[in-house]
Amino acid sequence: MQILQDKKIVLGITGGIAAYKIPELVRRLKDHGADVRVVMTEGAKAFITPLTLQAVSGNHVADSLLDSQAELAMGHIELAKWADLIIIAPATADIIARITAGMANDLLSTLCLATSAPIAIAPAMNQQMWHAKATQENINTLLQRGVHVWGPGAGEQACGDIGLGRLLEVSELVTLSCDFFAEKFLQGQHWVITAGPTREAIDPVRYISNHSSGKMGYAIANAALNAGAQVTLISGPVNITAPVGCDLIQVISAEQMHKQALTCAPQATTFVACAAVADYRVADIASEKIKKDSENMQLSLVKNHDIVADVAKLVKKPFMVGFAAETQNVEHYARGKLKRKNLDLIAANDVAKSGQGFNSDNNALTLYSAIDKIELPLANKHIIAKQLVNLINQHYLAKDTK
Ligand code: C5P
């Protein structure tokens, strides 16, 4: 059976240049078995015609709340009830603001209010508009309400800017749609995931840290949640929002992360150590700001506990997944860590390569277990996370229960 067989999707298109990609999205969703009904805003029609969307969806395209003919065929309340999922792609800053405010001033915003179906938005806008405080606050509100936010991706924008705000690729949107309806194969499992950097204080104002953004760990938390797991996310300081539904434990230092990990891990079925934990901390943290009196300064550092290695020493050890960010001899070092830290799986990435790893939206991983070597080629971290979760389940967890 196709993954989206008999799934009813309302696809809302709003007025962004990325609207030109949506006919392809409709076709791919239909290829997977979905029944797609398109709703367009006035702005969307400036970029692409309803006739195109009608042709590819095979259904009438709705674009007006006040169209008596359309209301007769399938009224807006009926359409809101019909949907198993509403996807808005591209979602402009405007529709995001309107649905956050609960407005019902066109067909699409009204549907969002009138539906009990889940809503997923795929934002696409200029990077400055995406980073604007208003947009970010709206996104956080929507996330708290359980709206799924797919993307945006980063890269060159139609306006020439570079940054966050691109519509995710059609293939990524299709994957996320399929995920949405995917089987909850991790139901009953508890995943504990560490993510982000740690900060090791030097004095009250300074610290030692690294470039980890937390994106990979947060994406894994999201993928595990989508697959039905209970998720505890132990996170160092990051600038991203935790997925709705996880238990978020915020920490600053490696010592705090160590303590929380050892408290949570005994209840876990899987432990994923994705955090970029500082290997050393300052031996004596100055209680006052250190003055720059001398030309040279020396800090004495002491080794932090190895969190993942200590969790792997637990009597009731969860399935252990580590990460290895390397710049050379990746396989050699990764296999060394797998063995030394007593892990079941290690996900290695070459952080010397540009466009992947630390702080990037993309990643490529090679997974090593005692016997396997599996490549996950360069893709958005959400896609990589989903592949990783699927793979851990199929190759290791599901095997254990057979
Ligand atoms: O630091 P290293 O390269 O050995 O890290 C490999 C793995 O160990 C990573 O999964 C990382 O999150 C974990 N780690 C840890 N605690 C540390 C250092 C690393 O859990 N203090």
Q: Is 307 in the pocket of ligand 1 (CB under 6 A)?
A: yes
Q: Which residue in 112, 159, 246, 274 is the catalytic one?
A: 159
Q: Looking at residues 176-205, what average pLDDT do you find?
A: 94
Q: Of the CATH numbers 2.120.10.30, 3.40.50.1950, 3.40.640.10, 3.30.420.40, which one belongs to the domain with range 8-181?
A: 3.40.50.1950
- Per-residue pLDDT of 275-325, as tens digits, reads 999 999 999 999 999 999 889 999 999 999 999 999 999 999 999 999 998
- Look at residue 258 and tell me whether its pLDDT is greater than 90: yes
- Per-residue pLDDT of 176-186, as tens digits, reads 898 888 888 99
Which ligand 1 atom lies nearest to the CA of residue 305?
A: 21
- Look at residue 244 and tell me whether its pLDDT is greater than 80: no
pLDDT of amino acid 241: 82
pLDDT of amino acid 359: 67
> Could you tell me what percent of the chain has a pLDDT over 70?
97
| Residue carrying structure tokens 């009250």 | 204
- Per-residue pLDDT of 369-381, as tens digits, reads 999 999 999 998 9
* 178 labelled catalytic: no
- Taking all residues of the chain, what is their mean pLDDT, rounded to a whole number? 93
- Look at residue 187 and tell me whether its pLDDT is greater than 50: yes
> Could you tell me what percent of the chain has a pLDDT over 90?
78
Which ligand 1 atom lies nearest to the CA of residue 261?
A: 20
pLDDT of amino acid 354: 64
pLDDT of amino acid 397: 85
Which ligand 1 atom lies nearest to the CA of residue 274?
A: 12
Q: Is 220 in the pocket of ligand 1 (CB under 6 A)?
A: no
**Rounded distance between C-alpha atoms, residue 197 and residue 111, angstroms:** 41
Q: Of the CATH numbers 3.40.50.300, 3.40.50.10300, 3.40.50.720, 3.90.550.10, which one belongs to the domain with range 190-400?
A: 3.40.50.10300
Q: Looking at residues 19-33, what average pLDDT do you find?
A: 97
- Look at residue 402 and tell me whether its pLDDT is greater than 50: no
Lowest mean pLDDT, pick from 32-41, 310-319, 340-349, 357-366:
357-366
Task: Give per-residue burial for 106-116: e unless 16+ CB within 10 Å, then b.
Answer: bbbbbbbebbe
Q: Looking at residues 117-124, what average pLDDT do you find?
A: 97
Q: How far is the CA of 289 from the centre of ligand 1 (A)?
A: 30
- Look at residue 271 and tell me whether its pLDDT is greater than 70: yes
pLDDT of amino acid 243: 80
In the chain, where the domains are located:
8-181, 190-400
- 8-181 and 190-400, same CATH topology: yes
pLDDT of amino acid 242: 87
pLDDT of amino acid 70: 74
User: How does residue 361 score in pLDDT terms, banded at 50, 70 and 90?
Assistant: confident
Question: CA 344: distance to chain centroid?
Answer: 24
Q: How far is the CA of 199 from the centre of ligand 1 (A)?
A: 14
Q: Looking at residues 56-67, what average pLDDT do you find?
A: 91
pLDDT of amino acid 357: 61
Which ligand 1 atom lies nearest to the CA of residue 324?
A: 6
pLDDT of amino acid 162: 85
Q: Is 323 in the pocket of ligand 1 (CB under 6 A)?
A: yes
Q: Is 391 in the pocket of ligand 1 (CB under 6 A)?
A: no
- Per-residue pLDDT of 207-243, as tens digits, reads 999 999 999 999 999 999 989 999 999 999 999 888 8
Among 235, 255, 306, 344, name the best residue to mutate to test ligand 1's pocket (greatest count of ligand atoms within 8 A of Cβ): 306
Distances (CA, A) of 342 to 145, 309, 322, 336, 339: 40, 7, 10, 10, 5
Among 277, 307, 332, name the best residue to mutate to test ligand 1's pocket (greatest count of ligand atoms within 8 A of Cβ): 277
- Look at residue 362 and tell me whether its pLDDT is greater than 60: yes
Q: Of all protein residues, whose CA lies closest to atom 17 belonging to ligand 1?
A: 306
Among 258, 274, 308, 310, name the best residue to mutate to test ligand 1's pocket (greatest count of ligand atoms within 8 A of Cβ): 308
